[in-house]
Amino acid sequence: MTLSFEIPLLVLLIMTAAGAILVKDLVSAVFILGSYSFSLALVWAWLGAVDVAFVEAVVGAGLTTVFFLLTLFSTSQQDTRRLPAPWTVVVGLPFLGLLLLYGAHDLPLFGDPASPASMHISSEYLERSLGETRTPNVVSSVLMDYRSFDTLIETVVIFTAGIACAFLLKRRDP
């Protein structure tokens, strides 16, 4: 059994997520968030989604950490918000978690060949990707060829985000 590897990983995931919320120094919170992303990348790799794991490791542990740090340098580094949690949050969030756990029972098993996601069109991609595009990595051929419109619009979104940041963060007095 590989459970000796999985359970510490999931415990680490929960602990880093809680630590990033609870810690008062915001720079520490940013670094704990980076380690959270890295253990999340390990979880993706364990589930077999290597491309997602790669993106999570690079973007979550690398790029967003730098962005958060650069933002913190121009603001305060202490978390000054110390409100007592309202009772709706204290009652509502555990209830929501229980509801999600209850709903997770109806999800198909991991890797189930009879699940709706594997029944529809994904088997076509898996069979025809190598012959039609000479691309062994099916994720690349789906993203860039079969679903290239989605990727084009996604690229437009990233471009728009860069332009918007440049406008919003422009120095007022040059």
Partner 1 sequence: MIQEHDSVIVQTLGRVVIPLAQLFGLYVLVFGQHGPGGGFVGGVILAMSMILSILIFGQDGADSRLARKVLHGDGLGLLIFAGVGGLCLIGGGQFMNYASLEVPGLDEPSRRYLGILLTQVGVAVDVGVTGVSIALSLSSSEKEEVSHV
What CA–CA distances, in Å, run from 103 to 84, 89, 97, 117, 147?
Answer: 30, 20, 10, 18, 30
Q: Phi/psi class of residue 113: alpha, beta or left (left: φ > 0; alpha: ψ in -120 to 50)?
A: alpha
* From 6-14, 47-55, 90-98, 114-122, span contacting partner 1 (CB under 8 A): 47-55
Q: Can you tell me which residue has the tokens 């437009």? A: 156
Instruction: Assess 171 for contact with partner 1 (CB under 8 A).
Output: yes
* From 28-36, 52-60, 89-97, 103-111, span contacting partner 1 (CB under 8 A): 52-60
Instruction: Assess 78 for contact with partner 1 (CB under 8 A).
Output: no
Between 82 and 171, whose beta carbon lies closer to partner 1? Answer: 171
Between 79 and 145, whose beta carbon lies closer to partner 1? Answer: 145
Q: What is the DSSP letter of 143?
A: I
Instruction: Assess 170 for contact with partner 1 (CB under 8 A).
Output: yes
Q: Which residues contact 39 (CB under 8 A, 6 or more apart)?
A: 9, 12, 13, 16
Instruction: Assess 50 for contact with partner 1 (CB under 8 A).
Output: yes
Torsion, Cα 131 134 140 144, to 10 degrees, reads: -90
Name which position in 85, 101, 107, 169 contacts partner 1 (CB under 8 A): 169
Between 68 and 79, whose beta carbon lies closer to partner 1? Answer: 68
What is the closest distance, in whole angstroms, from the C-beta atom of residue 173 to partner 1 in the complex? Answer: 10
Both tokens assigned to 86: 């309202």
Read off φ and ψ for residue 25, nearest 5 degrees. Answer: -80, 125
CA distance 97 to 84: 21
48 neighbors 110 (Cβ within 8 angstroms): no
Both tokens assigned to 23: 């810690």
Between 13 and 52, whose beta carbon lies closer to partner 1? Answer: 52
Instruction: Assess 122 for contact with partner 1 (CB under 8 A).
Output: no
Residues that bind partner 1 (CB under 8 A): 50-51, 53-55, 58-59, 62-63, 66-67, 70-71, 73-74, 131-137, 139-141, 143-145, 148-149, 151-152, 155-156, 158-159, 161-163, 165-166, 169-171
